[in-house]
Amino acid sequence: MNTLFADMAVMAPEIILAVGTMALMIVGAYGRGGAFKAVTTLSVLLWAAAGAYVWISASDEIVRAFNDSIIIDNLARVAKTLITIGSIAALLIALADLKGTIMARFEYPVLMSFATLGMYLMVSANDFLMLYVGLELSSLALYVMAAFNRNSTASSEAGLKYFVLGAISSGLILFGISLIYGFTGSLQFDLISAAAGAASATQTPIILTFGMVMVLAGMTFKIAAVPFHMWTPDVYEGAPTSVTAFFAIVPKLAAIVLLARLVSVPFGGLQGDWQPILSFMAIASMIVGGFAAIVQTSLKRLLAYSSISNIGYALIGVAIGTQAGLASVLVYMTIYMVATIGVFGIILLLRRDGFGVSKIEDLRGLSRTCPGMAYGLAALMFSYSGIPPLAGFFAKLAVFQSAVAAEAYILAVVGVVTSVVAAWYYINIIRVMFFETGDEALPNVTYSVSVPGLIAVTASLGFIGLFILFPGPLNDIAVMATTSLLP
């Protein structure tokens, strides 16, 4: 009994989220149609409480619970903190877009809360059973969110595509897990690592390699890495913009952290097998994401391909498999998450004729009608491009430096070249805002006043602009968080 209570204390943040989310469902059900505001406020408080408890209960030691199926180390704590911040910011910037629409329902923050709980479990998973539970809990909530606007055919189509393709990726992961279990007799990461290390000392059995490839294929679908990226542009474009923002801000960070744990612990002894696969995916993602975005006219499709290329940069650090590489991934994904909060926050605030902007040409004349928004979005585009002295430059620099240090010169060169390509379509958005005149037949672009959204955007811009003055803390946190991954 004492062990049970000790394990439950370790998982207190997840329990807080689970119990609190179910309570929010009751509040929403009793409040009927008028519970959206109350449930939204309570959701923010609930996520903040869970995120705070992560550090209130922190210790210097690595803690395990429930027969080692859960691990709480610095990486899990940092990842949960980032997930909490991202979820809160995604909800705050969505309020302006949801207000007065059919989507302003209490189920929206409740689904976000379930997704957040799933991501908490993902980053703390130390066996494949817990990994799968967290992954599916998060994914099921995201499928529903993609189709949340039931009056929109595009939203319903996006939800259906995401569900069907997501089910395939989940099947791949489950098939891979079954093969790994069949060979090692265990689902726990540490025991699989020992078995894989012993097997690779002679020759890695094909069944173990095949199982690992299946798991990695399913996981790279979740982060939209090439060649498993096909769902991203359609889902980003069809889903409501506020939902797209959540997709772009939080789930990919959680999946990247989980992927880093997988290649470091259970598959750590199989580096020779997974390294070429992830290196190819990194190169392909940077190239496809960079060049495909050039021809896009839809703002959300452009950001979808942008996310694919950014995942390619993050995969560089995962693929090289060094401690410096993994730390650079955490730095990169943190800066990318914060910048994405700002980009989608501004997009969600902008209005033309009462509707949100959806095409790049909708931004014409923005520098004259909303100069503050235009300059803010320009700064974020420069950061995405990796132009100093903004934070995006240091994110890419960290990844490229780790690649050079590991002598992965091809990854570094491709990353630099595709960064130049990506700079074109980011700067093109700035050109449209500042140097193209608006269409006289259309009303000017305006912005809705949403205090929570403006606060989130301002915080994002402050971080991106001032990071050059205080880069040390984030770098130190990333090193501290990833130290325990490698022996």
The neighbour count for residue 227, using CB atoms within 10 Å, is 13
For residue 472, what pLDDT band results from cuts at 50, 70 and 90? Answer: confident
Q: Is the four-CA dihedral 285, 287, 290, 293 of positive or negative sign? A: negative
Please, what is the average pLDDT of the chain?
88
Q: Which amino acid is at 321?
A: G
Q: Is the four-CA dihedral 251, 235, 222, 102 of positive or negative sign? A: positive
The predicted-structure confidence for 290-348, as pLDDT tens digits, reads as follows 899 898 888 889 999 999 999 999 999 999 988 899 999 999 999 999 999 999 999 88
CB contact at 8 A, 103 and 145: no
What is the H or E stretch that residue 71 is in? Answer: strand 70-72
CB contact at 8 A, 83 and 74: no
What share of the chain has pLDDT > 70, as a percent? 95
Mutual orientation of helices 206-222 and 251-264 as an angle, nearest 10°? Answer: 160
HSE (side-chain half, CA atoms, 13 Å) at 14:
25
The predicted-structure confidence for 159-168, as pLDDT tens digits, reads as follows 998 998 889 9
What DSSP assignment string belongs to 168-229? Answer: HHHHHHHHHHHHHHHHHS--BHHHHHHHHHHHHTT---HHHHHHHHHHHHHHHHHTT-TTS-
Q: How far apart are CA 343 and CA 330, in angstroms?
A: 20
CB contact at 8 A, 390 and 382: yes
Q: Which amino acid is at 69?
A: S
Mutual orientation of helices 391-405 and 409-435 as an angle, nearest 10°? Answer: 170
The predicted-structure confidence for 201-254, as pLDDT tens digits, reads as follows 566 688 888 999 999 999 999 898 988 888 888 899 888 889 999 999 999 999
Q: Output phi, psi for 305, to 5 deg.
A: -70, -30
Show the tokens assigned to 56. 């209130």
For residue 438, what pLDDT band results from cuts at 50, 70 and 90? Answer: low
Q: How far apart are CA 280 and CA 226, in angstroms?
A: 9
Q: Which amino acid is at 12?
A: A
The neighbour count for residue 20, using CB atoms within 10 Å, is 18
Return the ∠ at Cα 20 (arms to 18 and 241), rounded to 5°. 85
The predicted-structure confidence for 140-151, as pLDDT tens digits, reads as follows 999 999 998 888
CB contact at 8 A, 281 and 259: no
The neighbour count for residue 469, using CB atoms within 10 Å, is 8
Q: How far apart are CA 81 and CA 51, in angstroms?
A: 6
Q: How far apart are CA 306 and CA 384, in angstroms?
A: 9
- DSSP bridge partners of 47: none
For residue 200, what pLDDT band results from cuts at 50, 70 and 90? Answer: low
- DSSP bridge partners of 359: 298
Q: How far apart are CA 443 and CA 452, in angstroms?
A: 26
Strands (E) across 344-399 are located at 350-352, 355-356
Place of tokens 């409740």: 110
pLDDT exceeds 70 at position 183: yes
Q: How far apart are CA 185 and CA 102, in angstroms?
A: 50
The predicted-structure confidence for 360-404, as pLDDT tens digits, reads as follows 888 887 888 888 888 999 999 999 998 989 999 999 999 999 999
